[in-house]
Homo-oligomer: A and B are copies of this chain.
Amino acid sequence: MGTIPENLRDAVAKARVDVAALHAELPRWGLVVWTAGNVSQRVRGEAADGSEDLLVIKPSGVTYDELTPESMVVCDLEGTLVDGDRSPSSDTAAHAYVYRHMSDVGGVVHTHSTYATAWAARREPVPCVLTMIADEFGGEIPIGPFALIGDDSIGRGIVETLRESRSPAVLMANHGPFTIGKDARAAVKAAVMVEEVARTVHISRQLGDPVPMATSDVDSLYDRYQNVYGR
């Protein structure tokens, strides 16, 4: 186990507080059961290439009632434990891969939220048929590849899919959604929104076909929401 550099201690302490609090949003919005799901946030080091960055993430197998700032664990961007009493989440390698390869990303969330995962099991993207999807995702919500845990496959699948999309969410095949954001809070928001729109479009599709939106309308809504509205 490494040590947290002196210059990052305050930022890590703050990230522990934020990440612990944001985990409570996952059960609150019905995105997780039992101990499933995890939120992480990047803590930027001084090196411009990100090589000194750290991430704060949930420990493995801990219930949502037990999550405190102190129980959060700190890893480097290879996923190696730097500080914490417990093992990091078994999804840490995927989070770390995203941070290594997407320098703008400051937060990552993974859940198995029901409706998003249902689309993922069919490997079918969620079509952009709601103004809310245009606002938040800028088009359809894409499917990532099927990938087994244990190496870089999941992380690579997330990054390759999201690089070709405006969506901050990817539905990993037969697995569930991963979302990104400028910080953990934005990634949690995307996790909440992806489930909400996956659910709404699913329900709409049950009784017929939602009316498609014109690409120009989608672009217009996305641009306004991201720029005028000020995210």
Contacts and interface: CB of A to CB of B under 8 A. Distances in A.
A2 interface: no
A208 interface: yes
A18 interface: no
Nearest to A119: B204
A149 B218 CA distance: 12
Nearest to A209: B122
Interface in A141-195: 146, 148-150, 173-176, 189, 192-193
Given A90-B229, A221-B148, A224-B150, A204 B129 contact: no
A199 interface: yes
Copies in the complex: 4
Nearest to A131: B175
B211 A207 contact: no
Interface stretch (A41-49, A71-79, A109-117): A109-117
Nearest to A90: B229
A70 interface: no
Contacts of A203: 114-115, 118, 202
A148 B219 CA distance: 11
Contacts of A148: 217, 220-221
B193 A33 contact: yes
A69 interface: no
A211 B123 contact: yes
16 contacts: A33-B193, A112-B132, A114-B196, A117-B132, A118-B204, A118-B207, A121-B200, A121-B201, A122-B211, A124-B207, A130-B174, A131-B176, A132-B176, A146-B211, A148-B221, A149-B221
Given A118-B201, A121-B129, A205-B207, 4 more contacts: A117-B132, A146-B217, A149-B221, A202-B203
